[in-house]
């Protein structure tokens, strides 16, 4: 089963993407994935609660179904810790790898001086 029902307007599959689901998601612009809990699901978006890593602060991010359909997200989702659904975007990992390579190159050049 797919997380997205593709059509004129992409929507989340309500049989899979549910409130209370555990999710690990990474947008193509992020260096690392974030783990969270889906707190709100609409036809075309899901709101995810996650810990920021700063003290006990929590925050939210929104995943739009159209962005998932366009390949901008890599998602691992489970509702019961038995069945897991994956929406893989290899480009996200390639982008992160390239950014890390560039950062390493810049850091190495700085150390050469």
Quote the pLDDT of residue 79. Answer: 94
Tens digits of residue pLDDT in 37-74:
999 999 999 999 999 888 878 899 999 999 999 999 99
Average pLDDT score over the chain: 85
**Domain membership flag for residue 23:** yes
What letters, b where the CB count within 10 A reaches 16 and e where it falls short, cover 48-84? bebeeeeeeeeeeeebbbebbbeebbbbbbebeeeee
Quote the pLDDT of residue 43. Answer: 93
If pLDDT is split at 50, 70 and 90, which confidence band does 19 have? very high
Domain extent at residue 8: 4-108
In three-state secondary structure terms, 44 is: coil
Report the predicted TM-score, pTM, of the whole model to 2 decimal places: 0.76
Cα(49)–Cα(71) distance, integer angstroms: 22
Cα(109)–Cα(81) distance, integer angstroms: 45
Query: Is the per-residue pLDDT at 105 higher than 60?
Result: yes
Helix then strand count (H, E) for the chain reads: 2, 8
Number of domains in the chain: 1
Q: What is the CATH number of the domain that holds 68?
A: 2.30.30.100
**Domain membership flag for residue 113:** no
């Amino acid at each position: 089963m797919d997380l997205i029902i593709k059509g004129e307007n992409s929507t989340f599959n309500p049989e899979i993407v549910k409130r209370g689901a555990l999710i690990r998601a990474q947008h193509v612009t992020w260096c690392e994935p974030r783990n969270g809990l889906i707190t709100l699901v609409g036809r075309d978006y899901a709101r995810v609660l996650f810990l920021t890593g700063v003290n006990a602060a929590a925050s939210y991010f929104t995943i739009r179904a159209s962005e998932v359909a366009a390949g901008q997200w890599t998602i691992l989702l489970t509702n019961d810790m038995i069945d897991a659904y994956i929406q893989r975007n290899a480009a996200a990992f390639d982008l992160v790898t390239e950014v890390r390579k560039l950062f390493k190159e810049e850091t190495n050049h700085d150390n050469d001086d």
